[in-house]
Chains A and B, each alone.
Chain A
Amino acid sequence: MARFLRSDLPIAADPGNRFLPLLVAAMVFLATLALAGALGLQDMTTRWRGAMTGTLTVQVPPVAGESAADTAARVERVVRLMVSLPDVAAASAVADDQLVQMLQPWLGSDVLITDLPVPRLVDVTLKNEAVTGLDAMLARVRDVAPGALIDDHRVWLARLIALADGIRLLAWAILGLVGVATTAAVVYATRSGLAVHRPHIEVLHLIGATDGYVARQFARRALVHGLIGGLSGFILAVPALVGLLILLAPLEGGLVPVLSPVPVHFLGLALLPVFAGAVVMMTAYRTVRRQLARML
Chain B
Amino acid sequence: MRFDNVSLRYGSGPDVLQDVSFYLDPGSFHFLTGQSGAGKTSLLSLLYLARRPSRGAVQMFGTDVSSAPRDALPALRRRIGVVFQEFRLLDHLSTLDNVALPLRVAGVSESEIQRHVPELLNWVGLSRHLHATPPTLSGGQKQRVAIARAVINRPDLLVADEPTGSVDDRTATRLMHLFMELNRLGTTVLIATHNEGLVRKFPFERLHLEQGQVSVLPPLSGWGTSDGLFSGGSSLSDLEDL
Contact = CB atoms under 8 A, between A and B. Distances in A.
A209 B74 contact: yes
A199 B87 CA distance: 12
A154 interface: no
A199 B74 CA distance: 17
Contacts of B48: 206
Contacts of B70: 293, 296
Given A206-B48, A209-B105, A296-B51, A8 B93 contact: yes
Given A8-B104, A293-B70, A296-B51, A208 B92 contact: no
A243 B52 CA distance: 63
A296 B90 contact: no
Contact of B75 (A208, A213, A293): A208
A203 interface: yes
Contacts of A209: 74, 105
Contact of A206 (B75, B82, B93, B97): B82
Nearest to A293: B70
In the complex, which range does the number of interface residues on chain A fall in?
10 to 19
A255 interface: no
Contacts of B105: 204, 207-210, 213
A205 B73 CA distance: 9
Interface string B48-71: 111110000000000000000011
Contacts of A205: 74, 77
B51 A208 contact: no
A207 B82 contact: yes
A208 B74 contact: yes
Contacts of A202: 50
Given A8-B104, A296-B70, A207 B77 contact: yes
Contacts of A203: 88, 90, 101
A18 interface: no
A204 B97 CA distance: 12
B34 to A, nearest CB: 22
Interface in B80-127: 82, 88, 90, 92-93, 97, 101-102, 104-106
B144 interface: no
B30 interface: no
Contacts of B93: 8
A208 B90 contact: no
Interface in B200-218: none
Interface string A1-32: 00000001110010000000000000000000
Interface of B: 48-52, 70-71, 73-75, 77-78, 82, 88, 90, 92-93, 97, 101-102, 104-106, 149
16 contacts: A8-B97, A8-B104, A203-B88, A206-B48, A206-B49, A206-B77, A207-B78, A208-B75, A208-B106, A209-B74, A210-B71, A210-B74, A213-B105, A293-B70, A296-B50, A296-B73
Interface of A: 8-10, 13, 199-200, 202-210, 213, 293, 296
